[in-house]
Structures are given as structure tokens and as C-alpha cells.
Amino acid sequence: MKISHFIAGQPHAGSGIHTGPVFNPSNGHKLYDLDYGDSDLVDHAVAVAKKAGAEWAKTSQARRLQIIFKMRELVIANTDRIAEITGQENGKTLADAKGEIGRALEALEYATNAAQISKGEYSLNVGGGIDVYSFRQPVGVVGCIAPFNFPVMVPLMMASMAIACGNAVILKPSEKVPGASFLLSELWKEAGLPDGVWNMVNGGKEVVDGILTNPDIPAISFVGSTAIGEYIYQKGSHHGKRVAAYTGGKNHMVVMPDADLEAAASAFVSAAYGSASQRCMAISLLLPVGKQTADKLIELIVPKIKALRMGAYNDPKADFGAVISTVSKEQVLASIDTAIEQGGELIIDGRFGEDSNGFYVGASLIDNVTVEMEMYKKEIFGPVRGIVRVNSLDEAIDVTNHHEYGNGAVIYTRDGNSAHRFTVEVKAGMLGVNVAVPVPVGHHNFGGLRRSKFGDAHMFGPDAARFYSDLKTVSQRWPESGGDSHTLSMAFPSNE
């Protein structure tokens, strides 16, 4: 494999001065060296995108949507190819990769609503013979900075609506997983998207900074860690850009004594360990209410976790694959050691993987986690989860709200009042009631609260179209010939 930049509708070799390795997490082998771009390449891509975007903005809505529909068909037709590349570079199973592609298709499908959700308003004769109307126009060139964990879904969540609204895109995929984005680049061209409307520049911090500082990029969307997201938000805002940064999560799952505990146990295991727990919406902490609930849940959960099988991305029997890198593996293992040192009880030890050649970490579970422990405070992007025992719903809500993140939170209960209190009082952007992964469907807004999101925008939903467009409001009057429009008046025109 060899992946290039993609600019002006063509692969772009780059300079080759700076490179970085791309690995297959399933076996630890290097796939290839990726050419890293620099600020000059970003400036070149932006100049191309600005010119192409100006023409694309003039393209009719009907033509834009035809291309979005065609792209959807091509993604479906190339599902196996996209999943294979995703599995090789990310380590997630093929089944998991195809599930991600399904969510990406939602983004494309919702983007076909751009004409509906971005239309303006009209008010006739608001006063003084004046009509007022509003409309939206594309912002121009959009910067999209995507993470490693969803190399298909997130780029299409960001870019589909931006393109549908008439913008050009500069995508910087994660340097760990550029292959799927390169294939998407080829598919956009095949779908008929004009050259230069979609561009992809690979690299690290220099490319990110180039996007943040280029004056011809007015809007930036980011998904990734909180530290980097905050940096992007602050630096991008400093340079006068609108920024939407979707960052970390430490999602809590509260289980009430009246819940269906068998269903809750199964939901926890799947939501906690799927994708090797490398999801911002993964359940990180289980909060059973009461000792009896906790003990029974652990009794149900432990055999389910022990039955999980990790393996290579193309192993059809694997439930989850490797983590993304050796660094990630070391961080996960260190977090388990720290939790034990701080008083946590390791009831399932996954530190010894079956395949030492890949970046594998088995599923681990730690009981008696407290809010003072690192296991509670830090987001751990790997398959180690914790149990925080609480005595009441009030305590569960307090523990959930005590955390700095507010991405998602879940409650399992049969009691409507408990569910209502939870959804009203918990400070998180996406909530689940007997739903363990409360990721909204494409026509609802996606985004967390507190330090899980920087900026006011959302991905998915109507907010996406608003983020990628500028609102203009026009007040117009067409006086009759021979009227008194030349008469001097110091009042607001609509008050005359």
C-alpha cells in the first residue's frame, strides 16, 4: 500500500521530506511510510479549494445533491474495500468497520436534506413597505481534522454536509489511518465532484497549524482528544475562525435495582468493549445502585467479558481487535497498574494478550473505583472499564456530574420518574434510557457538554448545515414611481 495526499482531484506525491510509519495493529507490521505535508502544502491545497469552492458554491442544489446520492451508491458498492483498508490500518474487526460505514451512510443521506434545512425565511411588509428575507450561503473552505478511531464515519459526517451546502473541504485524516480517506477521495471524484472541492493533506501538527492559521479557512471541525481539541479551539478562535471541536468522554452507565439486570449486563459489555473501547461514546464506568445490584451485575458481567475474543481485524470470530499503537497499549496497561495501586480491585485481568505480535490488550474490569482515582478521572482509550458503587440515584447523578466530561450518560431502569430525573439533571449532551450507546441518528444533533465539546455547533443534525453556512438577512423596498422615497426621515425605515 502507498497512500498520497489528494489535491485538485489527483493524488499528490508531496515532498517526501517528512514521513511517518503506518502500522497494521493486528500484527504490528509496518504497512508503509506516509508522506507528511507541511504548511506550504496546506496553503497550496487551500488555494486550489478556494478557487474550486467558488465555482461549486454557484452550482445548483439539484446538481450538488445528485453527487451526494452518487457518492452514497459508491460507498455501498465499495463497502468491502473500505472495510478492508479500515481493518488493516485501525485494527477493528471487519464487522465493526462495516458498522461504521453504515453510520457514514447516514451522514450522506442526511446531507441530501441540505436544501431543506438551510433554506431561509420571508416576511412580507414588516412596515414601511419593506419585505425582509434571509438566506444561507456557504462559508467557503472548511477544514476537517479527523481521528483514528472512525476513519470513514467522521470524515463523511464532517464533509458531506459541508459539500452539500456548497463548500470546499480540506481533510486532514489521522496519520495512523489515512487509507480509508484516500479511497473516499477517489470515490468523490468518481461520483462527479469537481476537482478541488475535496482535498486531503496528510501529516501531523504542522499540517494542523497550517489549517488553523490559513486566513482562507473560516471554519474548522475537529474530533479527537480533549487536549488537542482545546488547542485547536483556542488557536482557531484566535485567528477568527468558527471552530467545532468534539473531544473526550468518560461515559457513565447507571443501573437501578429495578432494571432488567441481564439486559443491562449484556448492554454494558457490548458498549464498554466494542472497538477495543476506542470510542468516544463507549461506556467507561458502571454505576450500580446498591450493593445487591452491584454484586448481581458483576455475577452476570464477568462470564460475558471472559467469553469475549480478541483477534485480527479479519478474524470472523473476534469480538474486538487490537488498539491502535504500541503507545496506546502501554498507556492502557499503565492505567490498570495505577488503578490497582490506588485501591481498585482487578476482577478481570486482560493484560496478557494472546498474540504478542499485535497491539492487543484483553478486556479488564476494575471494581471499587472512586472519584479520587485516575481510573475515574482520565479517559482511557482501551478495554479497561471501572465500577463505581453508589447507594442512590442522587449519588449516581452527583458522581456523573462530578466528572469534567459530559459526552454521554446512560441509565437502565423500569421507573419513569428515575429516567426523567436522570435525563433532566445529568449534564451530558447525549443521554440513553435503556440504550447503552446513545449516539443520535443522522437527523439529530451530535455533541457533548462541558469539556467534551468546544464551540456551540454540533455534528449531524440541522446544526451542521448552520455551521457550514453564513446567514444573510435582507430588508428590501421597491417604492412606486413618483412616491415619497426621497423624503428625509430619521426613523427606522420599518417604523415609518
CA distance 84 to 242: 35
Sign of CA dihedral 408, 413, 414, 416: negative
Q: What is the DSSP letter of 139?
A: -
CA distance 102 to 79: 9
Q: What is the pLDDT of residue 422?
A: 95
Entry pTM: 0.91
Show the domains of the chain with their CATH numbers: 5-247+452-474 (3.40.605.10), 251-433 (3.40.309.10)
Q: What is the pLDDT of residue 355?
A: 54
- CB distance 421 to 433 below 8 Å: no
- CB distance 326 to 316 below 8 Å: no
Q: What is the pLDDT of residue 278?
A: 92
Nearest by Cα to 285 from 389, 361, 425, 362: 389
**126-155: per-residue pLDDT in tens?**
988 899 999 999 999 999 999 999 999 999
As averages over each run of 10 residues, the pLDDT of the chain (496 residues) reads 90 84 95 93 97 96 95 98 97 95 94 89 91 95 96 94 96 96 97 98 95 96 92 94 90 96 96 92 94 96 96 95 94 95 95 76 96 94 95 96 89 96 91 85 72 77 88 90 64 68
- CB distance 195 to 8 below 8 Å: yes
CA distance 3 to 178: 7
Strands (DSSP E) contained in 91-234 are: 122-127, 130-138, 141-145, 168-172, 198-200, 219-223
**384-415: per-residue pLDDT in tens?**
999 999 999 999 999 999 998 888 899 999 99
Q: What is the pLDDT of residue 66?
A: 95
Q: What is the pLDDT of residue 494?
A: 66
Tell me the Ramachandran region of residue 78: left when phi exceeds 0, alpha when psi lies from -120 to 50, beta otherwise: alpha
Secondary structure of residue 135 in the 3-state scheme = strand
Q: What is the pLDDT of residue 356?
A: 64
Give the catalytic positions in this structure: 280
**Please, what is the Cα angle at 358 between 334 and 317, to 5 degrees?**
110
CA distance 407 to 379: 11
